[in-house]
Amino acid sequence: MSFFKTLEVTETTDKKSADWSNAEHVRCLIIGSGPAGYTAAIYAARANLKPVLYQGMEAGGQLTTTTEVENFPGYPHGVTGPVLMEDIKAQAERFGTDVRWGEVTEADLTQRPFKLLADGAPILADSLIIATGATAKYLGIESENKFKGAGVSACATCDGFFYRDKVVAVVGGGDTAAEEATYLAGLASKVYLIVRKPYLRASKAMQERVIRTSNVEVLYEHVTKEITGTNVVTGVTLTKRQGETDEQDVKLAIDGFFVAIGHKPNSDIFAKYLNMDEIGYIKTVPGTAKTNVPGVFAAGDVQDSTYRQAITAAGSGCMAALDAERFLAE
Ligand SMILES: Cc1cc2nc3c(=O)[nH]c(=O)nc-3n(C[C@H](O)[C@H](O)[C@H](O)COP(=O)(O)OP(=O)(O)OC[C@H]3O[C@@H](n4cnc5c(N)ncnc54)[C@H](O)[C@@H]3O)c2cc1C
């Protein structure tokens, strides 16, 4: 039984009211410790909203899984993902953000203050900033895991620069894969686009862009079997399907392998209350971080299927905190 169902069942009992009367009540609750969450915290703390931030299972967010970040402003010589995130966290704490370990597992956004379950305890929030990010989908093969950060990437904008004049493969058949392949084609000498189906699922316009790009070769009806190499990626073995039963292995020499089969926004617990697209990206009012529920704001990758960069996440975190501050002031 869910936490809120438990509360509903005990609604008439004293225990239920005692639970909420003892619950901590905060002005601004931030969920997520990536660039969006910590940047929201910097602005919220400086506006005296006394933000409480829950880090979740991946403290520091996606950037803690990467080594070199070369495109975040302010670091002319680059910075590692973990160091960058420690720096932003320190900045948020310097202004008094209460950063806590723990996950928000349930939410009731039907009325204010919003009711949430954070790290197992009930918490009431006058305003809520959701910065829970999105998780890249991977193929799930063993060798992919082995080479993450050593030739396997899920972000061409982030890592493409390291493959200038090299040979890369992109796996996927949708718009993201087509976009990643054409982006990489501007940097790499050759791009293989590995597509499971006999056609691309990408929009007509994106398909045409792929076909017009001379250094992209589309390999239809190929499935990735194994990524190969010693310390870094040097090749990939594909299985080519021929007809119903016939299969043949194809080996390619590559330097980088980009997975572009989509992302999953971490928004499930809010699905009942917030407007989302069919994938689960939270919809915000254009030009703001406002969701359809007044007092609930969304920032970063959880509401951005287009840019998915640390700097855009940080920018929208700033917007969310400013919107929350104005909301509370009203
Ligand atoms: C390998 C890799 C390399 C990258 N390299 C670059 C790069 O070089 N440059 C660049 O600009 N971008 C890069 N990116 C993209 C960048 O990391 C993301 O765009 C950015 O981190 C998004 O920030 P965010 O704050 O929205 O979410 P995230 O960084 O995804 O953080 C989400 C946070 O939410 C927390 N969370 C989730 N659910 C809950 C919950 N229920 N309760 C509490 N907390 C929760 C998680 O623990 C996490 O802390 C890279 C991404 C990856 C995966």
Nearest ligand 1 atom to the CA of 70 is: 8
Give the per-residue pLDDT at 4: 54
Q: How far is the CA of 156 from the centre of ligand 1 (A)?
A: 15
Which one of 259, 284, 313 terminates a domain? 259
Any atom of ligand 1 within 6 Å of the Cβ of 158? yes
Question: Quick one: 90 and 150 in the same domain?
Answer: no
Distance CA 257, CA 191 (A): 10
Q: Would you call 24 helix, strand, or coil by DSSP?
A: strand
- The series of mean pLDDT values per 10 residues for the chain, 330 residues long, is 45 46 95 98 98 96 88 95 96 98 96 95 97 95 93 92 97 93 97 96 92 96 96 96 79 97 95 97 98 98 94 98 97
Give the per-residue pLDDT at 66: 81
Structure tokens, 292: 């359809």
Which residue range is the domain that position 30 belongs to? 3-135+263-329
Question: Quick one: 28 and 98 in the same domain?
Answer: yes
Which one of 237, 259, 281 terminates a domain? 259
What CATH number is associated with residue 255?
Answer: 3.50.50.60
Question: Quick one: 165 and 214 in the same domain?
Answer: yes
Question: Quick one: 293 and 230 in the same domain?
Answer: no
The number of domains in the chain is 2
Question: Quick one: 157 and 225 in the same domain?
Answer: yes
Question: Quick one: 173 and 192 in the same domain?
Answer: yes
Q: What is the DSSP string of 88-144?
A: HHHHHHHTT-EEE---EEEEE-SSSSEEEEETTEEEEEEEEEE---EEE-----HHH
Question: Quick one: 206 and 319 in the same domain?
Answer: no
**Rounded to a whole number, what is the distance in angstroms from the first to the last CA of the chain?**
37
Question: Quick one: 131 and 272 in the same domain?
Answer: yes
Helix, strand, coil fractions of the chain, as percent rounded to 5: 30, 30, 40
Nearest ligand 1 atom to the CA of 316 is: 26
Q: How far is the CA of 262 from the centre of ligand 1 (A)?
A: 15
What's the pTM value of the predicted model, to 2 decimals?
A: 0.86
Any atom of ligand 1 within 6 Å of the Cβ of 131? yes
Q: How far is the CA of 303 from the centre of ligand 1 (A)?
A: 12
Question: Quick one: 22 and 130 in the same domain?
Answer: yes
Nearest ligand 1 atom to the CA of 69 is: 8
Question: Quick one: 98 and 204 in the same domain?
Answer: no
Closest CA to 305 of 118, 134, 153: 134
Question: Quick one: 152 and 248 in the same domain?
Answer: yes
Which one of 217, 241, 259 terminates a domain? 259
Q: Would you call 26 helix, strand, or coil by DSSP?
A: strand
Question: Quick one: 23 and 45 in the same domain?
Answer: yes
Structure tokens, 313: 């996440």
Q: Which of 98, 108, 126, 155 is catalytic?
A: 155
Any atom of ligand 1 within 6 Å of the Cβ of 267? no
Give Rg (Cα) of the chain.
Answer: 22
